[in-house]
Chains A and B, each alone.
Chain A
């Protein structure tokens, strides 16, 4: 993460403030920057929420990536005699109405969640970053047009927009991805726009412009590094939203289609037999909660460490 001017000033070595003349060498700046990095790491590691969040996030990644090796059963293997059983040594999270092992299905469901979250968040981040910088740097009319576009997208409740689209195209994984991307872009774009606007009139951008740098160069080399930090924190906070949207749509039967295992489809199948066995909706919900909790903790800890100004909650 790059350091902007105001951050640098606040971390200059002691004794340079006040009336004394400034003698700051490149080495001093490097030293203070690396000191700052160490401080940030320490403050992150002493934050129990951050460490818990990081652990849960790593668990999410590991269980999704290594699902084929970790899963005790094939997620689609049927075992009708053992159907709808509770937790046991053979099936630690029980089985569903077809006798499939719920724990194995949860592990494979994590892969769907990881795929949607990974692709969805990164594509939305890039598009939002570019659109936000254009809105912030470009002419006024373009800014207004983009703002209207963002406001329009944001005025659809996500699920309602998803339902309207699914009504026309039918459910699919690709559609879930598109919806996730389209609805997340405005969030990133707005943050990128505000940050860009606050940079436009700073001295180093003016200097660069007076040296004849092109708009593309200014945006790519000078604005983007300063805008990317807050956006990455926003991305961590956005993962729970994306995972929830996928699980929610799949729960409604409008996302991932059976027999593919997803946390949403497990919950859906569990909901249908909720009067017979509680275990499926219990087991299907736990990974969802752990994941959203993990990314929320991690995102908040990162925000507190790197950008106290972004703090909204307590």
Chain B
């Protein structure tokens, strides 16, 4: 387990390093003066000179990379071009909104999708199973940003049941929850389908095992067998799927934040792209990506902890 842990951590560190390298070189691959590109058309000669000095743009390129990587790893992601506030602080303010959205979306999807998958697996080819199957494919096939737009149209504009934009009054918890409902619905809908299908498939496999037959022979109730014994094993591939799918979840959250004007990382990146505020884009993308790498790492470690066979595969 420790060897696996070390190897897996090493891989994560290597990927983070590569991501920093990519974000750094994006700026230098584009023809032209990096400071002018990074600061956009509105930059004054003074800000360009200051930026060039701060980023060590007059130094050789390998030295610039080291400075950038060093700063990023110590939590200094540079300054906002317009307000000159630290990018790290801006991200810190918004990270909570994005995390709340991602976890709420995944949470409701798991609460609905996993039991649906179990029900389908208990009675394969029943009407519950068929209906779940069709709805799952439908939920997966509809792009999440379209779900956001249509949910906004139906529940906020037409029916006026829920608020359309914003994240709610700061400090007012119930208002924030109300504002979370539609975005979380949009982010999670596809996942209900993924999870139901994944759980159904691995559950069907597990239900054929001999120890499940023994449990049946002992006269245990089906519910006890499914939720008490089979689900523990059948949930493993689902954990991997959730980990791997986190990137897609972040993409969905970006759209939901933009469509519902929610102040999160995705909205921050989008607004900064629109105002060509490259230091903020760079910083926020790095944080979003690091978050994703971290989630995949955690899910891989959980799997390795639960399933000894995985440890030998790396």
Contact = CB atoms under 8 A, between A and B. Distances in A.
B281 A164 contact: yes
Contacts of A254: 273
A203 B285 CA distance: 48
B138 interface: yes
A281 B138 contact: no
A247 B18 contact: no
B11 interface: yes
B289 A156 contact: yes
A158 B252 CA distance: 10
Given A152-B22, A155-B293, A167-B281, A314 B247 contact: no
A259 to B, nearest CB: 20
A159 interface: yes
Interface string A255-285: 0000000000001001100110010011001
Contact of B201 (A161, A248, A312): A312
A275 B157 contact: yes
A288 B23 contact: no
A166 interface: yes
A282 B198 CA distance: 30
A168 B26 contact: yes
Contact of B251 (A159, A296, A313): A159
Contact of B141 (A155, A166, A240): A240
Interface residues of A, number: 47
A281 B149 contact: yes
Contacts of A292: 141-143
Contact of A155 (B15, B146, B201, B266): B15
Interface string B266-280: 100110110010100
Contact of A252 (B120, B201, B270, B282): B270
A149 B11 CA distance: 11
A157 B37 contact: no
Contact of B289 (A155, A267, A288): A155
A311 B258 CA distance: 35
Given A155-B289, A248-B255, A314 B197 contact: yes
A13 to B, nearest CB: 30
A248 B145 contact: yes
Given A148-B14, A168-B30, A248-B143, A157 B157 contact: no
Interface-central residue, B152, B285, B292, by most chain A CB under 10 Å: B285
Contact of A160 (B11, B137, B269): B269
A278 B251 contact: no
A212 B293 CA distance: 44
B179 interface: no
Interface string B204-237: 1000000000000000000000000000000000
A254 B274 CA distance: 9
Nearest to B23: A164
Contacts of A252: 255, 258, 270
B18 A158 contact: no
Contacts of B273: 163-164, 166-167, 254
A56 to B, nearest CB: 10
B106 interface: no
Contacts of B197: 312-314
Nearest to A247: B143
B276 A167 contact: yes
B119 to A, nearest CB: 12
A289 B146 contact: yes
B293 to A, nearest CB: 5
Interface in A125-180: 148-149, 151-152, 154-161, 163-169
Contacts of B136: 313-314
Given A152-B18, A168-B26, A169-B30, A157 B251 contact: yes
Contacts of B204: 314
Contacts of B258: 252
A102 to B, nearest CB: 15
Given A155-B293, A160-B288, A270-B149, 16 more contacts: A148-B18, A152-B18, A156-B19, A157-B247, A157-B251, A159-B251, A168-B26, A168-B278, A244-B145, A248-B145, A251-B145, A267-B146, A274-B152, A282-B153, A285-B146, A289-B141
23 contacts: A152-B15, A152-B22, A155-B292, A158-B251, A159-B266, A160-B266, A163-B270, A163-B281, A165-B26, A166-B273, A167-B278, A168-B278, A251-B145, A252-B255, A254-B273, A267-B146, A282-B150, A282-B153, A292-B141, A313-B201, A314-B136, A314-B197, A314-B204
- Pick the 3 closest A-B CB pairs, nearest first: A313-B197, A152-B18, A159-B251
